[in-house]
Chain A
Amino acid sequence: ELKVEQNPLFLSMQEGKNYTIYCNYSTTSDRLYWYRQDPGKSLESLFVLLSNGAVKQEGRLMASLDTKARLSTLHITAAVHDLSATYFCAVHNNNDMRFGAGTRLTVKP
């Protein structure tokens, strides 16, 4: 069974600091997603990672994938308040797509 673990579950950061969120999964994957969710809203797609070594960047967020280690990271650079949200990774394998529990990020001034 495909299992996805994210850590940390809660993250409080100061503006301007850097941090990394980790996503481990248990079986092979054909693609991995990172999503952002604001309170009361649906999930907004941030990145789709398809292959080993894939790296994608958008603004202050950078995602990477290591399929051999079954690990993806979401790196936050120089955090700003607008990044406060919950971030989920989701792993797709054949007909299955499973989510991590989410990382609730709070960026404080």
Chain B
Amino acid sequence: GAGVSQSPRYKVAKRGQDVALRCDPISGHVSLFWYQQALGQGPEFLTYFQNEAQLDKSGLPSDRFFAERPEGSVSTLKIQRTQQEDSAVYLCASSFEGRSTEAFFGQGTRLTVV
């Protein structure tokens, strides 16, 4: 597809369950970002990849959060032992390298932990 694709769109998890969220960036885009957006808030940075290298994971809130991008394209954000405070929309964005390029966002995955 032409845009950033995320799946699933909606996920309901029981507390303590592990979840995996997928992001397919725009083909050829080098940079990939994950954000967490709580209800009524702005997106909060989680982690950044340049190709397959995770260059910044300073925003991951705990060691229950793990992200990977093994082949430099598709990325997976995994949350282990989900908690209610993990409920949010998880947004993925990608951009082609270079100053003049913009970041394009996917539709997001709305995670609800019950």
Contacts and interface: CB of A to CB of B under 8 A. Distances in A.
Contacts of A35: 105
Contact of B50 (A6, A88, A92, A95): A95
Interface string B51-82: 00001100000000000000000000000000
A88 B102 contact: no
Given A96-B56, A97-B33, A43 B43 contact: yes
A55 interface: no
B12 interface: no
Contacts of B108: 42
B45 A102 contact: no
A62 B11 CA distance: 37
Interface residues of B, number: 22
Contact of A42 (B56, B102, B105): B105
B96 interface: no
Given A42-B105, A45-B102, A95 B41 contact: no
A42 B42 contact: no
Contact of B91 (A42, A48, A102): A42
A68 interface: no
A99 interface: yes
B92 to A, nearest CB: 9
B106 interface: yes
Interface residues of A, number: 22
A95 B106 contact: no
B20 interface: no
A25 interface: no
Contacts of A100: 42
A74 to B, nearest CB: 15
A45 B105 CA distance: 8
A67 to B, nearest CB: 13
A41 B107 contact: yes
Closest 5 CB pairs of A and B: A99-B42, A43-B105, A48-B102, A101-B42, A102-B42
